[in-house]
Amino acid sequence: MIRYAYQGTGFEGWEERLQALPPALCSALLRDMIRIRVIEEEIERRYHQDQMKTPIHLVIGQEASSVGFCAALTREDLLYSGHRTHGAYLAKGGDLRGMLCEMHCRINGCAGSRGGSMHLIDKRAGMAGTSAIVGGAVPIAAGAALSLKLRGSDRVAAVFLGDAATEEGVVSETLNFAALKRLPMIFVCENNFYSVQSPLATRQPARDLHRWAAEHGVASVQVDGTNVLAAREAALAAVERARSGGGPSFIEARLYRFRAHGGAGDDSKTGYRDLEELHQWETVDPIRTYFDFLSRTQLADDRQRDAMYQAAMKEVADAFEFALASPNPEQKDLYTHVYSD
């Protein structure tokens, strides 16, 4: 039984808006999604070798959201996220080697092996912080936005959160505060309908998350999270609102994760969601639908796509090699940075 059907309309009617975009941008969006997919699949393929001693939360199926939203941010804008960090980190421009070293618990990991896959950070790329506590990064992003605003910066702060985070009181509190202070902030809620193996219906009354958010006084929209152009467009509007002093925005992106909540592989067969539901969403795989759309409009062809896959595979192979050759921490490393001077 399909509990949460795809209700979007794909790229129907997007031809004109596509034509208005620079072709280089159109293909960069495809390339960035493919890169994340390839990295995630390689992590997944190697996960059982137990070299990466870290929990993983793959974004396979959710790449359009990572790439589309980050495409509207500059490198200087600040991004925060929850436990499902890989897509946000990579799309924001986080260093791949730093990520894989972190996942291999090496001292040169992006967080010096104190973080693991849930705490990927790259401040040079504006990937500013994460939390493994559901909803935990949301008020922190608001604090970042408050700081930007008080210091007169034109940068914005954005945060990725899951549907379950909207059940945490702190997210309601933060929407209230962000609206009150007109913070330059964007809440990107990736609604994949499940919290671990619990469907939305056992957790919330039937309602639209973006309407719930709007009740807090925050401008809210819903977008098709499988459509990278729709994600980007919604993000651009939100960023424009934030930069021009119009306050925060909440974007509900409806999408689906193709893998288990955590770890490698899918776990639908355990029965919490129907394989049929997964298969339906796989027909709107964000990379394939976008590529098909681009090729229909002669903006990409198989050869270009294959080259994107090849380049990503080479990059990821090199990064794995680098990570595996990197040094482990020493005992003295445990005791540093408990306090700041």
Ligand X SMILES: Cc1ncc(C[n+]2csc(CCOP(=O)(O)OP(=O)(O)O)c2C)c(N)n1
* Site residues for ligand X per CB under 6 A: 83-84, 132-134, 162-165, 192, 194-196, 261
Cβ-closest position to ligand X: 162
Binding flag, residue 158, another protein (CB under 8 A): no
Choice between 75 and 203, CB closer to ligand X: 203
Closest among 237, 277, 251, 225 to 8, alpha carbons compared: 225
Least Cβ distance, residue 217 to another protein (angstroms): 12
Chain centroid, CA 281 distance in Å: 18
Question: What is the spatial distance between Cα 65 and Cα 189, in angstroms, rounded to a whole number?
Answer: 10
- 292 interface partner picked from ligand X, another protein, none, CB below 5 to 8 A per type: none
Q: Smallest gap, in angstroms, from Cβ of residue 87 to ligand X?
A: 10
Q: Running DSSP on this structure, what letter comes out for residue 261?
A: S
328 makes contact with another protein (CB under 8 A): no
Q: Which is nearer to another protein, 155 or 232 (CB)?
A: 155
Element (H, E) at 290: helix 286-296
**CB-based contact 167:87 (threshold 8 Å):** no
Residue type, 265: G
The DSSP bridge pattern shows strands 194-195 and 198-199 to be: antiparallel
Of the candidate spans 33-41, 195-203, 287-295, 333-341, the one that interacts with another protein by CB under 8 A turns out to be: 333-341
Q: Estimate the crossing angle of helix 23-46 against helix 63-70, to 10 degrees.
A: 140
Q: Residue 83: name its binding partner from another protein, ligand X, none (Cβ under 5 to 8 Å by kind).
A: ligand X
**CA dist., res. 249 & res. 233, Å (int):** 13
By beta-carbon proximity to ligand X, the closer residue of 118 and 287 is 118
Which of 308, 255, 262 shows the shortest CA–CA distance to 68? 255
Residue 115: CB minimum distance to another protein, A = 6
As measured in angstroms, the least distance from the Cβ of 128 to another protein is 7
Radius of gyration of the chain (CA): 19
Q: Per rule CB under 8 A, is residue 111 in the interface with another protein?
A: yes
In whole angstroms, give the CA distance from residue 178 to residue 249: 9
CB closer to another protein out of 176 and 197: 176
Question: 67 or 141, CB closer to another protein?
Answer: 141
Q: Within positions 136 to 155, which residues make up the interface with another protein, using CB under 8 A?
A: 136, 138-148, 150-151
Q: Decide which of ligand X, another protein, none touches 192; Cβ closer than 5 to 8 Å per partner kind.
A: ligand X
Determine the angle formed by the axes of helices 23-46 and 286-296, rounding to 10 degrees.
Answer: 150
Out of ligand X, another protein, none, what residue 251 binds, judged by CB under 5 to 8 A for its kind, is none
> What are the tokens at 321?
């090699």
**Shortest distance in whole angstroms from residue 17 CB to ligand X:** 28
Report the distance separating Cα 308 and Cα 27, nearest Å: 10
- Cα separation, 230 vs 97, in Å, equals 30
Instruction: Give min distance, CB of 36 to ligand X, in A.
Output: 15
Instruction: Count the residues of the shown chain that bind another protein, applying the rule CB under 8 A.
Output: 42
Three-state DSSP class for residue 245: coil
Of 188 and 323, CB closest to ligand X: 188
162 vs 247, beta carbon nearer ligand X: 162
Close Cβ partners of 150 (under 8 Å, ≥ 6 residues apart) = none
> What does the binding site for another protein look like in residue numbers (CB under 8 A)?
78, 80, 111-115, 119, 121, 123, 128-129, 131, 133, 136, 138-148, 150-151, 157, 169-170, 173-174, 176-177, 180, 336-341
